[in-house]
Amino acid sequence: MPTRRTFLKAGGCALVAYAAAPRFLLRTARAAEANGKVLVAVFQRGAVDGLSMVIPHGDAGYTGVRPSIGLLPPRRGESDRAIDLDGLFAFHPALAPLVPLWENRALAVVHACGSPDTTRSHFDAQDYMETGTPGIKSTPDGWLARAVKTRPASRTPFRAVAMGPALPRTLQGDVGAISMQSIERFDVRAGTDASARQGFESLYEQGVRDLLHGTGRETFEAVKMLRGVNAARIAPANGADYPRGQLGEALRQIAQLIKANVGLEVAFADMQGWDTHVGQGAERGQLALRFREFGAALAAFAQDLGGKMADVVVLTMSEFGRTVAENGNRGTDHGHATAMLVLGGGVRGGRVYGRWPGLAGHQLFEGRDLAVTTDFRTLFAEVATRHLGAPAAPLFPGFTTREPPLALFA
């Protein structure tokens, strides 16, 4: 049973290699170890309130500033309250499905994490986080794409997959990343008529070097491969129950691609709806609903993959956080630092990483936001280098960390 397929990207000709990747494709022994590793980036779009996701209930500055949206401190036996993690921090109650992962040390939190750039524009901040170059708009490629580029050459069309209608910024940059709304629909749907598929394929096979033709060629290779491995039929394992919704659907299918052994190395999914300016809610409400879906999807993914999670890291991120104090509409406005999660892959979980800056007035950024003490690039670089084996230098141009490593991995 072939575990990896190699396609020659020219002349519509396919070369198939069986079993382990042929030696001549491997550059170093280390690269061989890195095979099979997957990084899944999950972007919470809209600036998630990290202070509600991982609540600093042990910080005196948390009480009083959020009269209608603050979470009650943990109390044993009461499920509406924050779920204590380590005495200082607690999970939002809707993130209960993540607690077993925390207790099994498979899940780490990085708090007070964010961008050195102070923009509070969603669009710009997401752009900076996806390209990995805060403050610079002209970067042509995304950091995930650069991470993929540093890996040993792989001819599978599925090395970088984004679940969703469009290729995200972070995977742009000529690495042949694929975006799809669903595995099932990823095909030319012409019934039994194979000639239509062949006709289109021939049209895009031409030697013209432009975006359309390049994308076209990659598309058809990918379609052929998916049909071959029947990924859509792979059922969730270990009783994993994905929640309905965008993220659950995306992670379920990423799990299918992983289990189908199509050579996936980097995957991307995002989730909308975190921009809670109005009526954020506390243990119940708008934000709680988002957390419920978010937590259940991540937990189901980990459960589905079971032992394979040793090779898979899920990294969550958001463009910035939200104001410490609630605003006039029982919500929060755009802030600065937020919380990010690292799940799986040998992470030293059960800990909150990063230096906690505190919530006293003088400790806040511009007097209103949680301050950033860990540059997101420090976190992303550590995950990419330690888990994927990518070299650090090309990932974040212009960045050399002055912070000590987080030491997330053993």
Partner 1 sequence: MKGGARCGAARSVLPVLIALGALAGCGATAAGAAGPAEPITGAPPAGGAQPTDDRRILHALSRLTYGARPGDVERVRAIGLSAWIDRQLGPRTIDDSATDRALAELTTLRMPILELLREYPRPDPKLREKIASGAMTRQEMQERYPMEKRPIRIAAELQAAKVVRAVTSERQLEEVMVDFWFNHFNVFAGKGDLRWYVSAYEREAIRPHALGTFPDLVRATARHPAMLFYLDNWLSARPDFIVPAGPNRGRKAGLNENYARELMELHTLGVDGGYTQKDVTEVARAFTGWTIDRPQTSGRFVFRSAMHDAAEKVVVGHRIPAGGGQADGERVIEILTRHPSTARFVATKLVRRFVSDTPPPALVARVASTYTSTAGDIPAMLRVIFESREFYGEDVYRAKIKKPFEFVVSAVRALGASTDAQGGMALARASAEIGEPLYLAQPPTGYADRGETWVNAGALLARLNFALGLASGRYPHVSVELSALVAGADPGSPSAVLDRLLAALVADQAGPATRAVLTAQLGDPQITRLTTDDRGPANTDVAKLAALVIGSPEFQRR
Q: Which is nearer to partner 1, 89 or 143 (CB)?
A: 143
* Shortest Cβ 58–partner 1 spacing (Å): 28
CA neighbor of 117 nearest in space, from 135, 130, 133: 135
- Coil, strand or helix at 42: strand
Q: Which is nearer to partner 1, 221 or 283 (CB)?
A: 221
CB-CB contact of 307 with 22 (8 Å): no
- Binding of partner 1 by 256 (CB under 8 A): no
Query: Which one of 128, 186, 274, 376 is in contact with partner 1 (CB under 8 A)?
Result: 186
- Binding of partner 1 by 6 (CB under 8 A): yes
* Shortest Cβ 84–partner 1 spacing (Å): 31
Helix axes 143-150, 376-388, angle to 10 degrees: 20
- Binding of partner 1 by 8 (CB under 8 A): yes
Cα 294 to Cα 299: distance, rounded to the nearest angstrom: 9
Cα 344 to Cα 173: distance, rounded to the nearest angstrom: 27
CB-CB contact of 346 with 85 (8 Å): no
Query: Which one of 26, 72, 99, 188 is in contact with partner 1 (CB under 8 A)?
Result: 188
* Shortest Cβ 120–partner 1 spacing (Å): 7
Cα 106 to Cα 407: distance, rounded to the nearest angstrom: 14
- Binding of partner 1 by 208 (CB under 8 A): yes
- Binding of partner 1 by 257 (CB under 8 A): no
- Binding of partner 1 by 216 (CB under 8 A): yes
Q: Which is nearer to partner 1, 100 or 367 (CB)?
A: 367
- Binding of partner 1 by 245 (CB under 8 A): no
- Binding of partner 1 by 28 (CB under 8 A): no
From the list 71-79, 198-206, 252-260, 344-352, the region that binds partner 1 by CB under 8 A is 198-206
Q: Report the b/e string of 245-269 with b at 16+ CB within 10 A.
A: bbbbbbbbbbbbbbbbbbbbbbbbb
Please, how many CA atoms are within 13 Å of residue 28, restricted to the half-sphere of its CB? 8
- Binding of partner 1 by 19 (CB under 8 A): no
Q: Which is nearer to partner 1, 163 or 347 (CB)?
A: 163
- Binding of partner 1 by 33 (CB under 8 A): no
From the list 13-21, 48-56, 300-308, 395-403, the region that binds partner 1 by CB under 8 A is 13-21
Footprint on residues 158-177 left by partner 1 (CB under 8 A): 162, 165-167, 172, 174, 176-177
- Binding of partner 1 by 215 (CB under 8 A): yes
| Identity of residue 191 | G
Hey, which bits of 152-213 come out as E strands?
160-163, 178-180
Cα 200 to Cα 337: distance, rounded to the nearest angstrom: 47
- Binding of partner 1 by 64 (CB under 8 A): no
Query: Which one of 11, 87, 307, 404 is in contact with partner 1 (CB under 8 A)?
Result: 11
Question: One symbol per residue from 308 to 347: x for binding partner 1 (CB under 8 A), - otherwise; what is it?
Answer: -------------------xxxx--x--------------
Q: Which tokens hold the place of 269? A: 């999914």
CB-CB contact of 320 with 120 (8 Å): yes
- Binding of partner 1 by 223 (CB under 8 A): yes
Please, how many CA atoms are within 13 Å of residue 282, restricted to the half-sphere of its CB? 14
* Shortest Cβ 237–partner 1 spacing (Å): 26
Question: One symbol per residue from 108 to 127: x for binding partner 1 (CB under 8 A), - otherwise; what is it?
Answer: ------------xxxxx---
Footprint on residues 267-296 left by partner 1 (CB under 8 A): 272, 277-278
Burial-class residue 204 by CB neighbours within 10 Å (0-12, 13-18, 19+): middle
Q: Which is nearer to partner 1, 126 or 316 (CB)?
A: 126
- Binding of partner 1 by 50 (CB under 8 A): no
- Binding of partner 1 by 209 (CB under 8 A): yes
- Binding of partner 1 by 23 (CB under 8 A): no
Q: Which tokens hold the place of 148? A: 């993929």
Helix axes 286-305, 246-259, angle to 10 degrees: 10
- Binding of partner 1 by 180 (CB under 8 A): yes
Cα 133 to Cα 131: distance, rounded to the nearest angstrom: 5
- Binding of partner 1 by 63 (CB under 8 A): no
Q: Which stretches within 230-370 are classed as H helix? A: 246-259, 286-305
Q: Find the helix or strand (DSSP H, E) in which 199 lies.
A: helix 194-204
List 109's β-bridge partners, or say none.
341, 352
Cα 340 to Cα 336: distance, rounded to the nearest angstrom: 13
